[in-house]
Amino acid sequence: MSNIYLDYSADTPADERVLSVYTETARNAFANPNSLHSEGRKARSAVDDSLVKISELLGVSTDELIFTSGASEANNLAIKGIAHSRRRKGKHIVSTFLEHSSVSGALTYLQEQGWEIDLVNILPSGKIDLEHLKSLMRDDTVLCAVCAVDSELGTVQPISEISEIVKGYPNCVLHVDATQAIGKIKLDLTGVHTASFAPHKFYGLKGFGVLYKAKSIILEPLIHGGASTTIYRSGTPDAPAASACAAALKYAFNEIEERNSRVSELNQKLRDHFLENNMISINSPEDAVPHILNISVNGIKGEEMRRLLDEQGVCVSVKSACSVANTPSRSVMALFHDRKRALSSWRISLSHLTSDAELEKFIEILGSIIQR
């Protein structure tokens, strides 16, 4: 049997239909979309068409979309751009322990530049403590950065309730890292000021990302010079990648019920099995997205378990793929306040492409490692 891939939250294989859109656009709209000749206009038309398709699926305007190189750039553009453009209104930011490193890293950078960062407590449910959030908000709070779905545990945050709290502070912008949410859950962007995602998380291509930015929000750009689709992010627009992103988003939205039904079935099968083994602790909450299942095996560090599984042809992650190795999971620590459990944690991430045979073999391999 070939490798058993259970790391779909880190990356997904590109859908053949998406690849076809990319190659067709690359062949037929290869010119620089900024060029004024007929081939340039053809490429610009492909970019504009992608903007329309993506905006309609998300329920936003075309001029509220910024194309980037990925979700990490989108997070950095939003967080640094908002902070710098609002520095005269205040230098206080609220976030959580659950954020991806592209969010926490950007916040650390701002902290070193003089911004004050407060982190919201996490409830036993995995959701942020809304009462604590209320107590942290101030008149000089300029940004609240919260992930829609935690990449390690799969916890779904109450974004609409968070947006209601933020609404009471006119100087504050709500940024949502929606990278693990878009294509997996139905996310309403009402009340959200900026949101990031990348198509390689839902069977699209790497090297491309999207930042939603409400019309009312002003950002200070990270990249200056060079024409583009927006003043907020310079660089030659990538017509094939934009077209491929629109296609991947369409398929993800159209097939979300069917895909989630399959993934939920697989997740429940694993949960039922793990509950029978007293060596295994399930870290993901019951109402987490079914695509992510985080567990700890007593006495075995997560990095060691990842290595042992890899030797047997099973691909999983310890924390998110962008995190620092051999450090406790911030998410698991925030939830359970148990360093050993956090160090032993690792993530299984599932797909509608995962077969029953793969899952059975994985269960068998994991059992033999634990027994050994």
Report the C-alpha gap between 322 and 111 in whole angstroms.
Answer: 20
Q: How far is CA 351 from the centre of its chain?
A: 15
CA gap 65, 253 in Å, rounded: 18
Give catalytic status of residue 322 as yes or no: yes
Secondary element (H or E) of residue 275 = helix 256-275
Contact partners, residue 329, CB within 8 Å, separation at least 6: 152, 294, 302, 318, 319, 342, 343, 345
Cα separation, 256 vs 185, in Å, equals: 8
For 18, the token pair is 């998406």
42 in Cβ contact with 352 (< 8 Å): no
Cβ-in-10-Å burial (0-12, 13-18, 19+) of 141 comes to buried
Distance CA 31, CA 33 (A): 6
Task: Give the chain's length.
Answer: 372
Catalytic residue among 147, 172, 245, 322: 322
- Please give the Cα distance from 306 to 321 (Å, whole number): 12
Catalytic annotation, residues? 322
